[in-house]
A and B are shown apart, each in its own frame.
Chain A
């Protein structure tokens, strides 16, 4: 693994870690780390830094859904046109083009069931090119972006040889 790949790995674990600390871990200078992170950002490899939150703990009134969307591709731009339109909505947190029985997988978040339903029926389904939608509500989350929502307990002895 080269240094840039290692930086990405470290930031994926903890994006708030300081450049100084990364520099020590990888045996390079903080300046070099700064430069490489800038390059990763400029090249669009790092596209942002966000917190992974346990919304169930923080905000009881919300609901997330995964929506399978069937789309008829357009001659000019395939699936990109519809996907870009869907992705532009603020409620939408992710959009993926999928293999298999449907085409786009869309994740959305709303305050309640009604809000999600409204989004699907009024915004998503009527879009040109959208053939059908299947909505799955998320009941509980266990792991996201490599992080478990419950912490592993350390079962090792306090002191061992």
Chain B
């Protein structure tokens, strides 16, 4: 059979993500030290794991309501009120999803008709553009620049808006750059969007990992933005619960109603055990968040300092657990750099162009690793850089 004639042309035209491709290369080398993962090195808090066992023992293994357990939605509503000062109605304005990823998918699909444009600042997480394409929309990348600290500027946003613009993905704190949008910068974006029909898909999955004195702020908090913003967050990064696959979206009732339809047909309901455990995470595990954030923050300073001492320029990240140093001074492309590094010194870091063409000339290094692990990897990178200078 010629499957290429059978399978969807649209799906076949999608490429596997650059991360996936690089994984295949790294996996072929033995004894690699990786600085490439996008998930916490901490285990989920013990209380959360214990609750899951308890729920299984009680045999609570059936579906939940489509939108998720009401008790969990109430807890999420309280959490959002505490963090971003907006009271979302658990009945109509929240949906519990299979990871933040599903929430992104729902949001894009609920908004996009054929030919609609969705603005995607890059470098950014790999899923936005492919999901837009699957929804027959047109992803429109907006390049963010190191000189702007990889933040989205009002000027760049304006320059990309057309009559077909449906939505703006706002992925901050950002994977892979670690950039964060602070209040003034969000105000500037809001000034452009107020009075338009453009919806913001604010992917705030790394919100708890915001460093420095100012806490995370959501664009939904800015005047006039709540009605045009879908806030997406989840348990993966904040509570080190990646494998539980649990996230959520909060938005005006009209939007959630449509998203819920897709969720209902595609997913039914998010994993039940995870939902019960997530209630415990949000009610009892603030101390774990604090502990992990403090740890990441120390590693962040150390790795930025370490990489700069290797002679690489490195923008100071303010969120998530990545740094995004420039490797332009080596004369290599991101792909060359990463392939050589993994093959000769067995350190895996992700080429920046995996996060959009404008990520070329950069690499993403994750610091979701122990200090010892990070220092060993940096030591190897030092030898690699010295050797490649000769």
Contacts and interface: CB of A to CB of B under 8 A. Distances in A.
Interface stretch (B7-15, B33-41, B45-53, B179-187): B33-41
A139 B27 CA distance: 40
A24 B350 contact: no
A14 B294 contact: no
Given A17-B371, A158-B23, 19 more contacts: A1-B294, A6-B298, A10-B298, A13-B371, A14-B371, A157-B23, A158-B27, A158-B32, A158-B34, A158-B36, A158-B348, A159-B22, A159-B36, A160-B36, A160-B37, A160-B38, A160-B39, A161-B125, A161-B175
B127 interface: yes
Nearest to B176: A161
Interface string B265-308: 00000000000000000000000000000100011011001000
A36 interface: no
B19 A27 contact: no
Contacts of A157: 23, 37
Contacts of A127: none
A156 interface: yes
The 7 closest A-B pairs by CB, nearest first: A159-B23, A25-B298, A159-B36, A24-B305, A160-B38, A160-B37, A158-B34
B26 interface: yes
Given A1-B294, A25-B302, A160 B19 contact: yes
A154 interface: yes
Contact of B39 (A1, A17, A156): A156
Given A6-B294, A161-B17, A161-B125, A25 B301 contact: yes
Interface of B: 17, 19, 22-23, 26-27, 32, 34, 36-39, 41, 125-127, 175, 294, 298-299, 301-302, 305, 348, 350, 371-372
10 contacts: A1-B294, A10-B298, A25-B299, A25-B301, A26-B301, A158-B348, A159-B22, A159-B36, A160-B38, A161-B125
Interface string A133-161: 00000000000000000000010111111
Given A156-B37, A156-B39, A161 B126 contact: yes
A104 B36 CA distance: 50
Contacts of B371: 13-14, 17
Contacts of B36: 158-160
Contacts of B17: 161
* Most chain B beta-carbon contacts within 10 A, residue among A1, A17, A157: A157
- Which of A10, A21, A160 has the largest number of chain B CB atoms within 10 A? A160
Nearest to B24: A159
Contacts of A156: 37, 39, 41
Interface string A8-27: 00100110010001001111
Contacts of A6: 294, 298
A159 B39 contact: no
A158 B338 CA distance: 14
A146 to B, nearest CB: 13
Given A159-B348, A161-B126, A24 B301 contact: yes
A158 B26 contact: yes
A17 B26 CA distance: 30
A36 B372 CA distance: 24
A21 B302 contact: yes
Interface string A87-130: 00000000000000000000000000000000000000000000
A157 B41 CA distance: 11
Nearest to A154: B41
A104 B116 CA distance: 75
Contacts of A1: 294
Contacts of A160: 19, 23, 36-39
Contacts of B294: 1, 6
A13 B372 CA distance: 11
Nearest to B297: A25
A161 B302 contact: no
Contacts of B127: 161
